[in-house]
Chain A
């Protein structure tokens, strides 16, 4: 069979030619690659020079591009400034608006008056006012400005307005000297950009004074501005031969990978026709599966697309599993694998549906086979559910993506990909599960629908039982019994819809995808809850695990890096350096920032005086610990100390000297502390915190409550809840497991908490660590569910649109769909409008709440300042502000004019991270529009916070107090986030209900129209006996009645017309026959007359005459006989259009016409096809007649069975109606015989005539069961017969 099959394969030569061409390209690349490498090796010096020149010109080109952008901005701004600064149009408001325009959001703009005073500025201020004039570079020339933390590309230009010369400076950040591991940080680094692009290390000096490198391994070139002035120096490591060769091989491999991918694709396309010609569906499916599997494996081993992509989609941190040797090692690999699996499952499902739909399918009645299949399918069914659960668990546990941690609706690219992967995987699994059950139903021993429904119910129950048993006997059940019951129920619901309602509907795929989405999201949420619970345990373990060795390691690493840092060494020589900024840079670039634990870093001169410090929760008080004085070791020294002012807080402090050519320049110290109270790194502002602290990354640490008990006494509390004695009792009395742990649900202050309890022993005392997280409300659960369901729905809708566009000809814009769309439009639009309105109200309320809260704080501060000044009698404002800040514990800043004179968090301004210039918008609102207070949003990189400004006058001096939530945690009773969660969750649920209701109503309203449409179709096929049963009222009832009357009228007219035609036909026929008969009768009469005459005349030749006349008479009799035969044949055979056809589709189509009659049709063909020679329309009319008779006899079930022998097909059409009485059985085929009150009684007559006309037969058969049964025998189609006819 295989050899025969292989012989038939031809393929498409056109595609094979392409394949051959691509293969030769692969071969060629394999030959050329070593030649190219050899060439590069032999001419390396030249190549190196070319490469260096290329890199130089490319870097210059990139720099010039940025230069051009800046100059374009300057040009544009200049034109606008000229208009705004024109005395005739002069408006300060317009100037502020221009400088703070959104178009210039990424730029720092400063405008100076002719007298050099800063009159307008943007929120980002690059150059301090004193550094602008005198100009470092001629006006209009680009150059670099180095602030403490950022290097700017800047240009100063002038604008003349009415003889007044204004200066303006436009700057853009070019290189940040620090980096923060933090979702808010916006990276700006020219050095990193070119290092990544050219795959070699770059160093850029942003001053025009640096000399070229003398290191032979590196190459330097000058950065020149447009005017040819040197502005900086770029140095990079020369490309190495090894790296170049590796790049060449890498490029060759990538090209070969793409070509191989194309070869395989074209091979598949080339064999497409042969594939479609394969008769057996199972063989086609097997070949398709093998092809897809090999294709996927090939893509993986070729590194496609992972080798070609960069970014979050290929980052294993976002998702990675070692399953299948790495075919799901990143989100994009997972996507490709899931897509292939889904394609295979869809194809398999389609083949299965065809198999079920095709009534010629073999259904052997073998109960033993059914049992085997049942066991196998149940096993696979349960295994698949477990497999799906394991996969979703992996999506949660093997990923650093947290789908439910943040209440954000728009996920990032990696999350979006994983959510799509979840849908693909779920859909593939559901298709497979449905396929298993459908396959089982296809092999039912007794496929009668009524019995099969009972078997279906039995299968459902048995699968539920097996599912529960499967969970019970597993070591580690992945899902709960409740989930198992729900999932199995949903699958069986889908199977019911597919098998019993509408097998071939396209909407089945939509239902499958929706159910898959529900199942997969439920699993995702289930495992996420598990992960959150496990995180409580992890937190408890981390708190109890001694961490000192790690902290020492972190300190050592930080100090060693600091001492080797060239910038630190250089700055020791520059006494004007901002050492605080240096300390911050060292801290930001170290692991101390990444770990987000309390720390600090200080720089000291060789005499032990502190030059600079950055404090992130630890303040050493500005003095070097005694143990460190005059330390001269090469390695870091670390000691344990206590926090100054709090001896209960232990910290580790380390020191390392900084040397340059063995001369000690100074010291760097770093301190680190693990403090229970500061678990969530509360002392580090959000815009600096890494959010990846050592405790856990699953739950927001700030939402946890942690209690520590020592010997049953509460010793430490993290969070804002202090449990009462009653609340502590259940904790202390909790029943612990063998591992000394317990899980509880506690209620604290009216809210429910998941609680994990861990008991440990430490130094003889019993310690209990309790970690609690708030149980999520229903609105959160709804929000979590719908936020992913919405994304799935968007994907499904996109898919539907693509499908509809591709099969637009098949698109039926039916009445039902129109109704559905209208209902959806009417119901969903108001919901969306309401949701948007509610959200706006919520935002306004939140804004108002923030305003009130910050206003109250500013009032509080103001009152305390006044009180303090009154008490102390001092005029030292700065000291007073400082005292008030410490006393109140509130962070605030004070402005005098446009400059900041005090800030509680001074260090962030000193290092240049934040600007101390008053927000220009605030300056305008408070000073020019004379508002007393103003609330605005400010930004640090991507961190947005609220800042409240208020004008006050203290002892006659005007100040502006600023309170923000950048440094103060503002807790509002009303939260926009909570409102968003509620709105989205609840409104999504409401929308889902509306969609379901709309679909139901559209279906119900359109039902009468669909019935009418079907009835019209039946009439078109000649069935005038169709009856419309309806309970319609109003116009619909009139329409139905009108239709019924019209049908009856049409039928009556048709019968009358047929009668008339018949009569005319008979008349014509009689006339013809009479005429034809006359022709031979005349010569016969003459011949007989002649014979009589001859006899009477006793003619001598009487014998001859007798013979002649006899012959004449006989021949005329022959003629008459021929005429009679012709007439008979003509009368018997109507004008049929004979053709070769398959009877099965005809039967199926006819059955479909009776869909609305609610008749149970069972077609049991014992053959794969029934090829006969007949007239298609007559055949259909015959079956319509037979079925209509059954319906009118009250039958609810009609069975059609087909068998064959060597020459004939035998059909038996039987029903369970009232049957045909014995007395009239022999009359039913007669003309004009009927037992019905209406009807002409010619249906069966015509049927008999037609069947006999094609050399078949029709007869009634007797049987024991009630109802009528007809046996119809039709000859098989034989080609020689067809050719003859």
Chain B
């Protein structure tokens, strides 16, 4: 092996060490810094509404907190990590296809931040509606969902 090859190998090791230390400073990608500064709560709820109405979890996942409470009409009930919540909601939206959703009540007082709405869906050929409750809390510069009820 030539000397230049050794030098290149050594440099790549140094680069890898550096990348690793930087990687450790990055948060979990669900909580990644896509949201850089605190956006208005109304905008947050708008995005959450859009995510639910499109049935796309990826639009909601940026707001998942590390532990959140889910209570869904398929029987899911309890505390789940953000990773779990991603796939639980994905499966839920796949089974209970949303036809229409809108928040009809948004409370954005400091002491209580939540929104409620009606989730219209199609399940086994039948149309039905469930009530939705989403609460958020402040976590640093970001808003994080603490609870989602769809029943």
Contact = CB atoms under 8 A, between A and B. Distances in A.
On whether the two chains bind one another, the answer is yes
B151 A591 contact: yes
Contact of A316 (B6, B75, B87, B149): B87
A692 B81 CA distance: 15
Interface string A130-162: 000000000000000000000000000000000
Nearest to A590: B151
Interface stretch (B34-42, B43-51, B111-119): B111-119
B67 A538 contact: yes
B29 A322 contact: yes
A538 B67 CA distance: 9
A320 B149 contact: no
B76 A317 contact: yes
A697 B79 contact: yes
Interface string A737-765: 00000000000000000000000000000
B84 interface: yes
Nearest to B116: A553
Interface in A379-399: 379, 383, 394, 397-399
A560 B116 CA distance: 14
A195 B124 CA distance: 9
A474 B29 CA distance: 18
B77 A594 contact: yes
Interface string B124-138: 111000010101000
A697 B107 CA distance: 28
Given A199-B124, A322-B30, A375 B25 contact: no
A1090 B91 CA distance: 121
Interface residues of A, number: 53
B9 A376 contact: yes
B86 A243 contact: no
Interface in B64-95: 67, 69, 71, 75-81, 83-84, 86-88, 90-91
B86 A322 contact: yes
Contact of B83 (A201, A320, A376, A690): A320
A546 interface: yes
B4 interface: no
A556 interface: yes
A1061 to B, nearest CB: 58
A181 B77 contact: yes
Given A237-B125, A475-B24, A398 B149 contact: no
B86 A237 contact: no
Range, interface on chain B: 35 or more
Contacts of B133: 550, 553, 557
A473 B77 contact: no
Interface string A389-418: 000001001111000000000000000000
Interface string B4-26: 00100110010011001100110
A326 interface: yes
A375 B13 CA distance: 8
Interface string A582-594: 0000000001001
Contacts of B20: 379, 383
A476 B24 contact: yes
B147 interface: yes
A474 B88 contact: no
B69 A591 contact: no
Contacts of B147: 550
A399 B84 CA distance: 7
B98 to A, nearest CB: 16
B58 to A, nearest CB: 10
Interface in A309-328: 316-317, 319-323, 326
B56 to A, nearest CB: 14
B77 A550 contact: no
Given A239-B125, A317-B80, A473 B1 contact: no
B83 A692 contact: no
A614 to B, nearest CB: 19
Contacts of A372: 6, 9-10, 13
Contacts of B114: 549-550, 553
A564 to B, nearest CB: 10
A321 B124 contact: no
Contacts of B126: 201, 237
A595 B30 CA distance: 27
Contacts of B79: 400, 538, 696-697
A329 interface: yes
Interface in A680-703: 690, 692, 694, 696-697
A832 interface: no
Given A200-B124, A400-B78, A376 B13 contact: yes
Nearest to B16: A379
Nearest to B146: A545
Given A240-B125, A372-B9, A372-B10, A548 B88 contact: no
B25 A553 contact: no
15 contacts: A195-B124, A201-B124, A201-B126, A243-B124, A316-B87, A320-B84, A372-B13, A375-B10, A379-B13, A474-B21, A475-B24, A538-B67, A546-B112, A549-B114, A550-B149
Given A369-B6, A475-B25, A696-B79, 7 more contacts: A199-B124, A316-B91, A317-B84, A376-B9, A379-B20, A553-B133, A556-B131
Across the A-B interface, give the 6 residue pairs with the lowest CB-CB distance, nearest first: A316-B87, A320-B84, A398-B83, A320-B87, A553-B133, A692-B78
Interface of B: 1, 6, 9-10, 13, 16-17, 20-21, 24-25, 29-30, 67, 69, 71, 75-81, 83-84, 86-88, 90-91, 107, 111-112, 114, 116, 124-126, 131, 133, 135, 147, 149, 151
